[in-house]
Amino acid sequence: MTAVMLALLVGVLFACGAYLVLQRGQIKLILGLGLFTHAVNLALFGAGVLTRGAPPIVPEEVEGVPQGADALFANYADPLPQALILTAIVISFGVTAFIVALVYRRDALTGSDLAPGELATVVNTADPFAEFTLRMKLPDAADDYDILQYELDEVYDHPEAEREVARE
């Protein structure tokens, strides 16, 4: 029963995570990834045999006697999934923190939580003023072409020098 509940929970978390990741907007993206990682961690947890109230120590009477897995797991909790989950949590925590930092930095640079290229693809939202609002959010974007150009501009090392050349 516990295993079925766990499987259902993992499925629901995956579905919610996928829905959120596919939404526009960075906060939803981060939350969706968080749900994804939780779902995978729970799936790992369910991968071990779920024994309640038993220590992760092989009982003495079972040791050496071929009684089969059922007898073993009656008084023994498998510690390996916890160890795996701990590693996975640390890694996903680090990556999520990195994404949050990236999003924050981009927000600070462009003054918007939308990627510049995304403006060109905003269509069919329920809000008729959505595109207008989005345009207002971006500071120096006159039209879609400008935004595309801005994405295409890959100038290294000497952006100031480049601008001087352009002015000439």
Partner 1 sequence: MSLHPTVITLPVAIPLLLGAVGMFLQFVQLPHRLQVQQTLVGVGVVVNLAVALLLLIFVLDRGPVAYQMGLWMPPFGITVYLDALSAIMLVMVGLLSALIFPFALATIDSERAQLGFFPMMLFLLMGANGAFLTGDLFNLYVFYEVMLMASFVLLTIGGTPSQLNGGIRYVVLNLVGSMMLLLAAGVSYGTLGTLNMAHIAVRMNDAPYLVQAIIAGLLLIAFGAKAAVFPVFFWLPSSYHTPHPVVTALFSGVLTKVGMYSMFRVFPLFFPWLLNSWQPLLMAIAGLTMVVGVLGAFAQPTIRRLLSFHIISQIGYMVMGLAVAMTPNPYGIGFGLALAILFLVHNQIVKTALLLGGGAIELEMGTGKLNELGGLVHLKPLQATVFFIAAFSLAGFPPTSGFIGKLGLLEVTFSSGQWVIAGVSVFVSLLTTMSMIRLWQYIFWGKMHRKPLAMRQQTAPNYSWMTVAPVIVLVVLSLALGLAAQSALNVVQTAANQAIDRAAYVKTVGPMLTEQDLRIAPPEWGLTNALPATELAGR
Please provide the distance, in angstroms rounded to a whole number, between the alpha carbons at the two ends of the chain: 74
Residue 119: count of CB within 10 angstroms of its CB: 20
Nearer to partner 1, 8 or 129 (CB): 8
Q: Quick check: 81 binds partner 1 (CB under 8 A)? A: yes
The beta strands (E) that lie in 28-129 are given as: none
* Of residues 129 and 143, the one with the C-beta less far from partner 1: 143
The residues near 150 (Cβ < 8 Å, ≥ 6 apart) are 116, 141
Kindly state whether residue 20 participates in binding partner 1, applying the rule CB under 8 A.
Answer: no
> In the complex, what is the shortest distance from the CB of residue 94 to partner 1, in angstroms, rounded to a whole number?
7
Contacts within 8 Å (CB) and 24+ apart, 154-157: none
Number of residues that bind partner 1 (CB under 8 A): 45
Of the two residues 80 and 136, which places its CB atom closer to partner 1 in the complex? Answer: 80
Interface with partner 1, residue 27, by CB under 8 A: no
Q: Supply the DSSP symbol for 52.
A: S
Cα maximum dimension of the chain: 88
Q: Which residues of this protein are in contact with partner 1, per CB under 8 A?
A: 21, 26, 29, 33, 36-37, 40, 43-44, 46-48, 80-81, 84, 87-88, 91-92, 94-95, 98-99, 102-103, 105-106, 109-110, 115-117, 150-158, 161-162, 164-165
